[in-house]
């Protein structure tokens, strides 16, 4: 006897009533992103067999080497969002500027999509999990006009949807529209994302901390004391901790979301604002974690979603995960600097 399987498209349609103002456009936009994710998964899964690994020998706007698979993922998302006709503008971590989309068929799309096409690029060549991150906003410019940069520089509080796709031992799409967080696993045999993790909630506490301890000497005194505390004195109250750091935000975040824990990318003397981008990475992940019952701050008391971006490639520190652990980390930083 077959058990009931709910596909991503079915789930989106069933939840469409949550957004009466959307008239199906947001549902279509999420479906377009799902289609792009399947195409990217297809190439990721065979990347070692074709000439798609490695570098294009170009430097992107972040000053980082562009990987071939990065560029492929970026182009697939741009194509899907252009063809879908629900998007009036997009911006990508791989592009210097935002891209307004001019639809000549009289449609007045109302959504803006910001994305990191392939998070964890440095792990591509060594076959470690990578991912895609996206954030969706309603435009604030006048419908029917050309979209402006202000459409892309909105506070995270204005987000209407956010999600990520993780390409690992299985491929999963996790997203929220402000009504909880749900996860879908791709079944390659039928080519569909199927609901596998309904209503995800992160534990208030966890026993995993994720950060690059190789940079310990550059951490603030408060962060150093927090790390030492959870490894030593805090065991009695919080239990024994494990350090788990993959170096791909999507992968580290996904594990901690399901198991409980904290991911930290702090500022340092060299990079006082850290390295993660506010609009492409920190905002969408913060929206997801809050919807799952967790918390995301800059480590200094400011919620990530309360930032008003000043530029597309702005960076902020990120402390994200189980609410009790984020609060504890901030307590140490406030106390010791």
pLDDT tens for each residue of 88-134: 999 999 999 999 998 766 678 899 999 999 998 777 777 788 999 99
As a whole number, mean pLDDT of residues 20-49 equals 82
Same domain, 29 and 119: yes
pLDDT tens for each residue of 230-271: 998 877 777 889 999 999 999 999 999 999 999 999 988 888
Task: From 168, 162, 167, select the one nearest 182 (Cα to Cα).
Answer: 162
> Over pLDDT 70: what percentage of the chain?
93
> How far, in Å, CA of 278 to CA of 299, rounded?
14
Is 1 within a domain?
no
Is 203 within a domain?
no
pLDDT at 1: 42
pLDDT at 22: 56
Domain termination residue (choose one: 146, 168, 197): 197
Q: Which residue has the tokens 């702090």?
A: 266
Q: Where are the beta strands (DSSP E) in the chain?
A: 55-59, 65-67, 87-92, 99-100, 111-119, 130-138, 159-167, 171-176, 181-187, 192-197, 208-210, 242-243, 262-265, 295-297, 318-321
As a whole number, mean pLDDT of residues 49-62 equals 70
Same domain, 284 and 189: no
- The pTM of the full predicted model, rounded to 2 decimals, is 0.92
Residue 183 pLDDT level (bands cut at 50, 70, 90): very high
pLDDT tens for each residue of 283-311: 999 999 999 999 999 999 999 999 999 99
Same domain, 192 and 215: no
Assign 324 to helix, strand or coil: helix
Domain termination residue (choose one: 175, 197, 219): 197
Is 202 within a domain?
no
CATH number, domain containing residue 286: 3.40.190.80
pLDDT, mean over the chain: 89
> How far, in Å, CA of 102 to CA of 32, rounded?
18
Task: Please determine, for residue 76, whether its predicted confidence score (pLDDT) is greater than 70.
Answer: yes
Q: Which domain holds residue 270?
A: 208-336
CATH number, domain containing residue 151: 3.30.540.10
Same domain, 186 and 215: no
Domain termination residue (choose one: 158, 174, 197): 197
Same domain, 186 and 271: no
Same domain, 187 and 229: no
What one-character DSSP code corresponds to residue 147?
A: P
Q: Which residue has the tokens 């909630």?
A: 201
As a whole number, mean pLDDT of residues 188-193 equals 90
Is 54 within a domain?
yes
Task: Please determine, for residue 46, whether its predicted confidence score (pLDDT) is greater than 90.
Answer: no
Same domain, 151 and 67: yes
Task: Please determine, for residue 61, whether its predicted confidence score (pLDDT) is greater than 80.
Answer: no
Same domain, 151 and 213: no
Same domain, 14 and 59: yes
Is 103 within a domain?
yes
**Structural domain count, the chain:** 2
């Amino acid at each position: 006897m077959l058990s009931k399987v709910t596909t991503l498209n079915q789930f989106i349609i069933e939840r469409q009533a949550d957004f009466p103002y959307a008239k199906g456009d947001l549902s279509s936009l999420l479906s377009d992103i799902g289609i792009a994710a399947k195409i990217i998964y297809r190439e990721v899964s065979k990347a070692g067999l074709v000439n798609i690994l490695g570098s294009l020998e170009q430097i992107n706007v972040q000053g980082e080497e562009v990987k071939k698979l990065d560029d492929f993922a970026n182009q697939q998302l741009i194509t899907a969002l252009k063809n879908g006709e629900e998007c009036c503008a997009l911006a990508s971590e791989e592009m210097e500027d935002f891209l307004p989309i001019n639809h000549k068929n009289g449609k007045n799309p109302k959504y803006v999509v910001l994305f990191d096409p392939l998070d964890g690029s440095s792990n591509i060549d060594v076959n470690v999990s990578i991912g895609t991150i996206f954030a969706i906003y309603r435009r604030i410019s006048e419908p029917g006009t050309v979209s402006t940069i202000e459409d892309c520089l909105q506070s995270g509080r204005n987000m209407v949807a956010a999600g990520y796709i993780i390409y690992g031992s299985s491929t999963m799409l996790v997203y929220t529209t402000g009504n909880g967080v749900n996860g879908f696993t791709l079944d390659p045999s039928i080519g569909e994302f199927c609901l596998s993790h309904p209503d995800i909630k992160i534990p208030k506490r966890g026993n995993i901390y994720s950060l690059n301890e190789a940079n310990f000497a550059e951490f603030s005194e408060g962060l150093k004391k927090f790390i030492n505390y959870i490894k030593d004195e805090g065991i009695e109250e919080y239990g024994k901790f494990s350090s788990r750091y993959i170096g791909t935000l999507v992968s580290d975040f996904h594990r901690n979301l399901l198991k409980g824990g904290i991911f930290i990318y702090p500022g340092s003397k060299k990079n006082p604002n850290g390295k993660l981008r506010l609009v492409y990475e920190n905002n969408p992940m913060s929206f997801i974690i809050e919807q799952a019952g967790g918390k995301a701050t800059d480590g200094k008391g400011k919620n990530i979603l309360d930032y008003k971006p000043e530029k597309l490639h702005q960076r902020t520190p990120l402390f994200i995960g189980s609410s009790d652990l984020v609060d504890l980390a901030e307590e140490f930083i406030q106390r010791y600097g």
